[in-house]
Amino acid sequence: MDLSALREGDKDRDMVVMAEVADEATYVKHHPKKIAFLFAAMRKFAQALEEDGWQVAYRRLDQDGSDSICGELLRRAEEFDAHEVLATEPGEFRLIEALENCPVPVHMFGDDRFLASHAEFEDWAEGRKALRMEYFYREMRRKTGLLMDGDEPAEGKWNFDHENRKPAPDEVTHKGPLRFEPDDEVQEVLDLVGARFGKHFGSLDGFFFATTREQALEAMTDFMKNALPRFGDYQDAMLTDQRWLYHSILSPYINAGLLNPLEVCQAAEAEYTAGRAPINAVEGFIRQIIGWREYVRGIYFLKGPDYMANNVLGHGRKLPAFYWGAETRMKCVECAVTSTQQEAYAHHIQRLMITGNFALLAGIDPAEVHEWYLAVYADAYEWVEAPNTIGMSQFADGGVLGSKPYVSSGSYINRMSDHCKSCHYTVSKKTGQGACPFNLLYWHFLDRHRERFEKNPRMGNMYRTWDKMEADHRETVLQEADSLLRSMDQGGVV
């Protein structure tokens, strides 16, 4: 309940307005599990507010009311003779603009559940030639004191990422995130969402999300005890039959406000201090939250609403149907999309180096990729999703977030997963029948964007390797990549 708007309110005279509105569920066609998670958590939060002494006016989706947030605010203002609205700043420019133009005056207060305010991030960014996350992360470590030994980082290093790139283990001992059986109220939400949004991409089967703060704290404790110690080693690994590995699945709870990011990091630090989790696991986990999560939010608000329109590489291909569950012969893509469809989840390497990597190599319109990621994941909100997609995944911002595009051939996927063993394609084949599409498209991408990237110091070796290949081989690669892309554009199965 630690929201800036609630702290500004008065229990004796103010009314808390909450509403399930169709517009927020459909401005992109959100995954049904995401919608159900948020609606159920909202209902439980409204009950907690009432128990805490607040008056709450709550509108359920199947009750009379408006389909928009501003429409609901206007309706409730007339009902209770209210003249202004106090709100915590939303995390999407779309909704901020709507509230700024609402018929009822809306006073927005900063969302101080984040560690860095907009002004703090702007001060850090001012005058810098490159806005690299690593340096911002160090400032957040100093500010919070997390994993610090006085003025120095614990164990003498800021970053232990080189220890966190182990390939998939032979055995996974963790059973996955703590699961919560839907109670009657959650089941009522699931039925409602199924009836109203059942045609959206995604399944409601097996819904297990925490929907209260108490449950989210249980999930956090379970992760710290059972998965954090091995999280670091295998955070980049992928396995066909293991969706969760040692990941926390806490981001939906943090991004929805059920957990505070600092308390999660402090819980992880406590595991390190007690000797129950190694520094590489704890540092890597904390960096994702106080480093990357805070950093991408800073970029989103620093760059403004036009950031989402970036497309410096000029990519314009339509998103292939297999992103929406159509057939694909690529095992790695199939696994990532199936997990996304069934769980509203895929871990960060699946998003970056499988679905994101393919979209970048194939030249997919970044606006379509952005909309897909925003729609399909339970933890996706534009402030966090757009910089990750437009910047890190698709390099559409020209290098604001990253110094080079995150592209790879099939060899990286083979090293970090077991997908290639059961794939239709042969990862070792560079051309010809059965050649891995990632191999063909990798060189096709580098060739068509040579002017932009060949002088990049982190990509020079790639171009030297390409130039050493026989001319006939290079031509075959490009022709076969073109043929693959034409087939995909025409609806062929890739």
Strands (E), 331-476: none
Distance CA 425, CA 330 (A): 7
Q: Is the pLDDT of residue 173 over 80?
A: yes
For CA atoms 446, 448, 453, 455, the dihedral sign is: positive
347's CB contacts (< 8 A; 6+ apart) are: 235, 238, 245, 247
What pLDDT score does 2 carry?
A: 82
- 295 band by pLDDT with thresholds 50, 70 and 90: very high
Q: What is the mean pLDDT of the chain?
A: 97
Distance CA 317, CA 359 (A): 9
CA dihedral of residues 382, 387, 391, 396 (deg, nearest 10): 30
Q: What is the CA radius of gyration of the chain?
A: 23
- Confirm if 444 and 410 have CB atoms less than 8 A apart: no
Burial per residue of 76-92, b for 16 or more beta-carbon CB atoms within 10 angstroms, e otherwise:
bbeeeebeebbbbbbbb
pLDDT tens across 317-368, in order? 999 999 999 999 999 999 999 999 999 999 999 999 999 999 999 999 999 9
Mean pLDDT in residue range 296-313: 98
Q: Is the pLDDT of residue 1 over 90?
A: no
Mean pLDDT in residue range 12-37: 97
Query: C-alpha 432: how far from its chain's center?
Result: 36
Across the strands, what pairs with 364? 317
- Confirm if 69 and 98 have CB atoms less than 8 A apart: yes
pLDDT tens across 425-461, in order? 999 999 999 999 999 999 999 999 999 999 999 999 9
Tell me the two tokens of residue 367: 């606006």
CA angle in degrees (0–180, nearest 5) for 90-95-97: 110
Mean pLDDT in residue range 419-425: 97
pLDDT tens across 232-249, in order? 999 999 999 999 999 999
pLDDT tens across 129-152, in order? 899 999 999 999 999 999 999 999
What pLDDT score does 170 carry?
A: 87
- 168 band by pLDDT with thresholds 50, 70 and 90: confident
Mean pLDDT in residue range 77-103: 96
Residue type, 275: G
What pLDDT score does 430 carry?
A: 96
- 101 band by pLDDT with thresholds 50, 70 and 90: very high
Mean pLDDT in residue range 375-385: 98
Beta-carbon count within 10 A of 122 CB: 13
- Confirm if 57 and 76 have CB atoms less than 8 A apart: yes
| Domains of the chain from N-terminus onward | 4-109 (3.40.50.620), 118-176+227-303 (1.25.40.80), 321-489 (1.10.579.10)
Residue found by looking up tokens 């159509």 in the block = 326
- Confirm if 437 and 486 have CB atoms less than 8 A apart: no
13's CB contacts (< 8 A; 6+ apart) are: none
Mean pLDDT in residue range 9-30: 96
Give percent above pLDDT 90 in the chain: 97
339's CB contacts (< 8 A; 6+ apart) are: 243, 345, 346, 350
Least confident range of 46-60, 157-171, 206-220, 301-315: 157-171
End-to-end CA distance of the chain: 48
